[in-house]
């Protein structure tokens, strides 16, 4: 027994709670195979693989997926650069206003998404910026910074400060030190942060609805289907694919930061 | 003797804190120079100033006669052994040692060869393929040493390198370091808070207190002839008499010290001397320690094996030879800076 | 000293511009800091703070009732509109929902967090960790969608009640005004369930972090001093977990206040703050009123954070 001494009620409540969290997601997988296409009938009258083929041939799904992947990729790159720079500044040096900067980085995710969304919408309106691919990226990169930042700060904190001094002492200038010492030591944390940022961006809907205009990212496509269901079976398949696509980076990030003192993704 | 390092009125302030305060000192080439002091006394900051990790707020540091004011750490022919060793966790031992040579642009084969030689020098041949995390504390210490030495620095800086080792290993490493320094002839600047370590290893010792050098000189001088009360108290467990007590004892109103092994204890009334009351005694193996109260001042005597040990509470007569009473000359206290090889 | 010569040769050859920059970084540590901080500060300062400022500015503008065009003049009339009974109703409903969701999430989260912190070891610990992290990070929309499937009239929950011959119980419950409705998927109870489900992981992690810091010896000391398990829970564990619960509640509270998608997909037609913001900025084009509405969660959260800080909740984050 791994859990010697845990009272029965506690064990039951804990396992019940975990099941409460996972059963709904598992249901999605069943619905992706149902033959019923007009309602959410349970139990499914029959199982089929047909909907995968139907979904595969849907150009609107592909277009939405393509946009989501491009937005997520570029937002992740921007977040990686900004988050790493910020983490390096905050953890390497002591300066006035460090706390303020941490707060500023966390704010876009600490405040409800709708506030970030309506704020950006107001700003675009005031500055007369038309909606485009880049307005989506602008919003996504802003709230993705914190994920990279949290992972990088945690790693910097664990990396002894004297490593940088040791490298300088042995003849390496700032850039060589970054290339040969800092980067190898924070790379897994950055990879984990980048994966989580990607997952966060890929999945985001609230801010996106305010910054996307007429374009459809995959979550926006799904939202439309949820509000006005037209293609239930296709939605089911897309939902399952989204679950699988987001699970991979999360599992990856977990294995990359396993055994360290921080919990990957606590910033979400 | 050539000067390896010279501090000219060097200060390093962190806001209000004067970590190093107008220090003048000279380290000679080939010297084993120990910087001793309690934590926060400025000794480590001095070391970091030499390495270039800190820049002086005021004053100038010359390294082999050249000003280091605009020379960043990576251009100084100075290498450091860090207190926490600072071995790169992502590199194996051989690549750790070869790091400085790699940065200097040396080919892989040549630098690995030299790194292997350096590992032999510190008695770790064949450990190259291990990761630092797979080594013991003492082994990491040796790797850190090899990593610094392989660059053939003109000055080797050691920041409490033995602090994390247990007593037995520390004693062994003290001897090895000293032998290595003699063999290589490199200038060693060694920071420690351990008096024994500084006195046994250093050719000269600088005692730091509150950002300043309290006294600098050969170990015997530091130990037997402290110039200021701080040195007497910090180095060894000398008995320290303040001027008021000295006035009453001998009429000379100066600080003075007498070593515990020079103090003798006699039964009350048996001889002339200074009456004192025994507060405690303890058995130390080869000797016994008697702690007494001499006119309000703590007086410790170390009695050889076989001597009569008085009972606590007894009144005794304490004596010492006049030659063993070291009177600190106030004139010396002020000039605690630039003493060059006393 | 052959290799020393190598090193100095490479150093004294004409320095590259990288080397010159590196030297400058060393001479002026503030320069390095400025270079590191400038891009993120510019981005967050201009894009994010600028946007927040734009939001605030809009809330002091108004909309011309006839033309529907935004009037860029300072006015408090938009804020005055918030005090219309219909709007007050929306605010009260949203805050009540946030409080209920927070309490329910805390009750469900505590045993999971406690078990994971105290009893789970090794492989079980990893399992619990992933068991919380995967739902936390998996798609928000998919999670909402799954509840649409569950709560649908022909869905699994109704089927379950039917199979157990308890349909009468469900119908009796749905007949209760305010929390009931035509079916679970259009009732406030449905909205509440989805909110609790979606925000639950945000409550578990901080509580677990707080409980991890309670040494086992402290619980042993409590039972050693004669406390029954229930008393230990009441007098030792809960007070120590409280900062974690407060930290978690910041998330559940803030997220519920700002959400507009969940009540839109699962719930009655009665609106929440988020829906009001979305509706006013969208079809109505009334960005000023939407902005003023968005300021409400900010104010509520500011008060909440201030209270939480006094409880020491940020140490558990």
Written as one string, the DSSP assignment of C168-232 is HHHHHHHTSTTT--SSGGGSHHHHHHHHHHHHHHHHHHHHHHHHHTS-HHHHHHHHHTT--HHHH
* Per-residue confidence (pLDDT) for residue B97, from 0 to 100: 96
**B114 chain-C contacts, CB cut-off 8 A:** 3
**A169 chain-B contacts, CB cut-off 8 A:** 51, 53, 73-74, 78-80, 148
Q: How many CB pairs under 8 A join B and C?
A: 31
> What would the two tokens of residue A56 be?
């595969």
> What would the two tokens of residue A158 be?
């664990």
Distance from CA of C213 to the nearest CA of B (A): 27
**Which pLDDT tens digit goes with each residue over B273-308?**
899 999 999 988 888 999 999 988 899 999 988 888
Inspect the interface and report whether the beta carbons of B52 and A168 lie closer than 8 Å: yes
By CB atoms closer than 10 A (0-12, 13-18, 19+), residue A99 is: exposed
Q: CB of A3 within 8 Å of any CB in chain C?
A: yes
Rounded mean pLDDT, B243-256: 85
* Per-residue confidence (pLDDT) for residue B217, from 0 to 100: 94
**C271 chain-A contacts, CB cut-off 8 A:** none
* Per-residue confidence (pLDDT) for residue C13, from 0 to 100: 54
* Per-residue confidence (pLDDT) for residue B143, from 0 to 100: 95
* Per-residue confidence (pLDDT) for residue A253, from 0 to 100: 81
Q: CB of C22 within 8 Å of any CB in chain B?
A: yes
Distance from CA of C8 to the nearest CA of B (A): 8
> What would the two tokens of residue A80 be?
């990686």
Inspect the interface and report whether the beta carbons of B99 and A180 lie closer than 8 Å: yes
- Residue B283: beta bridge partners? B288
Written as one string, the DSSP assignment of C234-297 is IIIIHHHHHHHHHHHHHHHHHHHHH--SHHHHSS-S---HHHHHHHHHTTS--HHHHHHHHHHH
Lowest mean pLDDT of A37-51, A65-79, C5-19, name the range.
C5-19
Q: How many CA atoms lie within 13 A of B230 on its CB side?
A: 16
Mark the ranges of chain C whose per-residue pLDDT is less than 70. Answer: 1-14, 311-317
* Per-residue confidence (pLDDT) for residue A155, from 0 to 100: 87
User: All domains of chain A, ordered by start, with CATH?
Assistant: 55-257 (1.10.3720.10)
**Which pLDDT tens digit goes with each residue over B6-19?**
999 999 998 889 99
Q: CB of B74 within 8 Å of any CB in chain A?
A: yes
Backbone angles phi, psi at C175, to 5 degrees: -75, -15
Q: Is the ipTM of this complex over 0.90?
A: no
Inspect the interface and report whether the beta carbons of B104 and C6 lie closer than 8 Å: yes
Sorting pLDDT into bands at 50, 70 and 90, what band is B337? very low
* Per-residue confidence (pLDDT) for residue B341, from 0 to 100: 37
* Per-residue confidence (pLDDT) for residue A41, from 0 to 100: 80
Q: In this model, does residue B309 exceed pLDDT 60?
A: yes
* Per-residue confidence (pLDDT) for residue B1, from 0 to 100: 64
Q: In this model, does residue A169 exceed pLDDT 80?
A: yes
**Which pLDDT tens digit goes with each residue over A173-197?**
999 999 999 999 999 889 988 988 9
Q: Which of A6, A77, A112, A145 to mutate to test the interface with C (most CBs of C within 10 A)?
A: A112
> For C43, which residue in chain A has the nearest alpha carbon?
A142
User: All domains of chain C, ordered by start, with CATH?
Assistant: 84-316 (1.10.3720.10)
Distance from CA of C177 to the nearest CA of A (A): 25
- Residues C15, C16, C17: CA angle, nearest 5 degrees: 120
Lowest mean pLDDT of A68-72, B19-23, B129-133, B334-338, name the range.
B334-338
Nearest CA-CA partner of B193 in B47, B18, B79, B24: B47
Torsion-angle region of residue B210: left (phi > 0), alpha (psi -120 to 50) or beta?
Answer: left
Rounded mean pLDDT, B238-253: 85
The stretches of C115-187 forming alpha helices (DSSP H) are: 122-137, 140-151, 156-163, 167-174
* Per-residue confidence (pLDDT) for residue C6, from 0 to 100: 38
Reported in sequence order, the residue ranges of chain B that DSSP labels E, i.e. its strands, are 3-14, 17-28, 32-36, 58-63, 66-67, 78-81, 155-159, 187-192, 204-209, 212-217, 239-241, 256-258, 264-267, 274-283, 287-294, 297-304, 315-319, 326-327
Rounded mean pLDDT, A116-141: 90
Inspect the interface and report whether the beta carbons of A95 and C33 lie closer than 8 Å: yes
* Per-residue confidence (pLDDT) for residue B147, from 0 to 100: 95
* Per-residue confidence (pLDDT) for residue C1, from 0 to 100: 37
Give Cα separations from A98 to A147, C26, C41, C247, C315 (angstroms). Answer: 18, 21, 12, 21, 17
* Per-residue confidence (pLDDT) for residue C14, from 0 to 100: 63
Distance from CA of C123 to the nearest CA of A (A): 9
Q: In this model, does residue B149 exceed pLDDT 80?
A: yes
User: All domains of chain B, ordered by start, with CATH?
Assistant: 3-233 (3.40.50.300), 238-324 (2.40.50.140)
Q: How many CB atoms lie within 10 A of CB C282?
A: 14
* Per-residue confidence (pLDDT) for residue A267, from 0 to 100: 42
CB B62 within 8 A of CB B6: yes
Lowest mean pLDDT of A220-229, B40-49, B231-240, name the range.
B231-240
Q: In this model, does residue A122 exceed pLDDT 90?
A: no
Q: How many CA atoms lie within 13 A of A89 on its CB side?
A: 28
Strands B274-283 and B239-241: unpaired
CB B239 within 8 A of CB B335: no
Q: In this model, does residue A23 exceed pLDDT 80?
A: yes
- Give this prediction's pTM: 0.80
Sorting pLDDT into bands at 50, 70 and 90, what band is A67? very high
CA–CA separation, C221 and B72 (whole Å): 56
Sole residue written with tokens 């860029």 = C72
* Per-residue confidence (pLDDT) for residue B112, from 0 to 100: 96
């Amino acid at each position: 027994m791994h859990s010697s001494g845990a009272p029965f009620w506690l064990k039951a409540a804990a396992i019940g709670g975990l099941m409460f969290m996972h059963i709904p997601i598992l249901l999605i997988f069943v619905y992706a195979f149902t033959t019923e296409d007009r309602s959410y009938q349970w139990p499914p009258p029959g199982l089929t693989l047909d909907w995968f083929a139907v979904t595969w041939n849907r150009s609107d799904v592909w277009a939405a997926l393509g946009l989501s992947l491009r937005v997520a990729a570029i937002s992740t790159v921007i977040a990686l650069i900004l988050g790493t720079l910020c983490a390096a500044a905050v953890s390497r040096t002591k300066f006035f206003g460090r706390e303020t900067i941490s707060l500023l980085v966390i704010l876009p995710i600490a405040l409800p998404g709708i506030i970030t969304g309506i704020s950006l919408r107001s700003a675009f309106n005031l500055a007369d910026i038309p909606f485009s691919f880049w307005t989506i990226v602008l919003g996504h990169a802003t709230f993705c910074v914190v994920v990279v930042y949290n992972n990088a700060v945690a790693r910097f904190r664990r990396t002894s400060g004297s490593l940088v001094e040791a490298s300088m002492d042995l003849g390496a200038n700032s850039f060589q030190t970054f290339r040969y010492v800092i980067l190898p030591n924070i790379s897994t944390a950055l990879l984990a942060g980048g994966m989580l940022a990607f997952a966060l961006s890929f999945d985001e809907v609230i801010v996106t609805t305010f910054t996307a205009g007429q374009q459809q990212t995959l979550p926006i496509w799904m939202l439309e289907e949820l509000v006005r269901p037209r293609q239930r079976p296709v939605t089911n398949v897309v939902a399952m694919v989204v679950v699988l696509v987001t699970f991979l980076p999360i599992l990856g990030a977990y294995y990359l930061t396993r055994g360290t003192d921080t919990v990957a993704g606590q910033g979400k | 003797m050539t000067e390896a390092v010279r501090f000219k009125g060097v200060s390093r302030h962190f806001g209000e804190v004067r970590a190093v305060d107008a220090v003048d000192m000279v380290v000679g080439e080939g010297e084993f120079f120990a910087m001793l002091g309690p934590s926060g006394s400025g000794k480590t900051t001095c070391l970091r100033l030499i390495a270039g990790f800190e820049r002086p707020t005021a004053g100038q540091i010359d390294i082999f006669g050249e000003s280091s004011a605009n020379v960043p750490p990576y251009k100084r022919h100075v290498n450091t052994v860090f207190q926490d060793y600072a071995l790169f966790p992502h590199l194996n031992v051989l690549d750790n040692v070869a790091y400085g040579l790699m940065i200097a642009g040396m080919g892989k084969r040549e630098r690995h060869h030299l790194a292997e030689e350096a590992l032999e020098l510190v008695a770790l041949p064949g450990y190259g393929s291990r990761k630092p995390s797979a080594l013991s504390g003492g082994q990491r210490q040796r790797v850190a040493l090899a990593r610094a030495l392989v660059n053939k620095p003109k000055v080797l800086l050691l920041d409490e390198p033995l602090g994390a080792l247990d007593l037995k290993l520390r004693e062994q490493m003290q001897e090895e370091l000293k032998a290595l320094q003699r063999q290589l002839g490199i200038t060693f600047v060694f920071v420690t808070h351990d008096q024994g370590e500084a006195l046994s290893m250093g050719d000269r010792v600088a005692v730091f207190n509150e950002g300043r050098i309290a006294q600098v000189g050969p170990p015997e001088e530091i130990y037997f002839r402290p110039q200021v009360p701080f040195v007497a108290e910090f180095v060894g467990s000398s008995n320290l008499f303040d001027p008021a007590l000295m006035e009453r004892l001998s009429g000379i109103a100066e600080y003075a010290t007498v070593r515990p092994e020079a103090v003798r204890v006699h039964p009350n009334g048996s001889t002339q001397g200074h009456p004192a009351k025994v507060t405690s005694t303890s058995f130390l193996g080869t000797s016994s320690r008697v702690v007494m109260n001499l006119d309000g001042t703590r007086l410790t005597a170390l009695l050889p094996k076989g001597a009569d040990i008085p009972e606590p509470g007894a009144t005794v007569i304490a004596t010492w030879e006049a030659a063993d009473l070291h009177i600190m000359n106030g004139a010396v206290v002020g000039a605690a800076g630039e003493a060059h090889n006393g | 000293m052959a290799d020393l010569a190598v090193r100095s040769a490479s150093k004294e050859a004409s320095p590259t511009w990288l080397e010159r920059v590196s030297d400058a970084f060393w001479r002026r540590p503030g320069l390095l800091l400025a270079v590191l901080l400038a891009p993120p500060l510019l981005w967050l300062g201009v894009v994010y703070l600028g946007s927040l400022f734009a939001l605030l500015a809009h809330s002091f503008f108004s909309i011309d009732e006839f033309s529907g065009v935004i009037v860029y003049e300072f006015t408090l009339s938009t804020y005055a509109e918030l005090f219309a009974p219909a709007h007050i109703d929306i605010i009260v409903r949203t805050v009540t929902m946030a409080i209920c969701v927070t309490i329910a999430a805390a009750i469900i989260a505590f045993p999971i967090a406690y078990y994971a912190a105290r009893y789970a070891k090794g492989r079980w610990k990893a399992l619990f960790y992933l068991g919380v992290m995967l739902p936390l990070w998996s798609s928000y929309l998919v999670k909402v969608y799954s509840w649409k499937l569950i709560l649908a009239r022909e869905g699994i929950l109704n089927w379950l009640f039917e199979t157990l011959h308890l349909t009468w119980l469900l119908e009796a419950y749905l007949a209760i005004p305010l929390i009931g409705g035509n079916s679970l998927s259009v009732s406030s109870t449905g909205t509440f369930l989805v909110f609790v489900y979606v925000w639950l992981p945000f409550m578990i992690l901080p509580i677990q972090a707080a409980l991890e810091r309670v040494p086992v010896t402290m619980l042993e000391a409590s039972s050693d001093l004669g406390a029954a398990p229930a008393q230990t829970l009441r007098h030792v564990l809960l007070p120590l977990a409280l900062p974690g619960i407060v930290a978690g509640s910041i998330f559940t509270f803030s997220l519920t206040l700002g959400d507009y998608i969940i009540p839109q997909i699962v719930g009655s037609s009665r609106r929440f703050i988020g829906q009001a913001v979305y509706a006013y900025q969208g079809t109505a084009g009334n960005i000023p009123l939407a902005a003023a509405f968005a300021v409400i969660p900010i104010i509520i959260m500011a008060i909440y954070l201030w209270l939480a800080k006094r409880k020491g909740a940020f140490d558990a984050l």
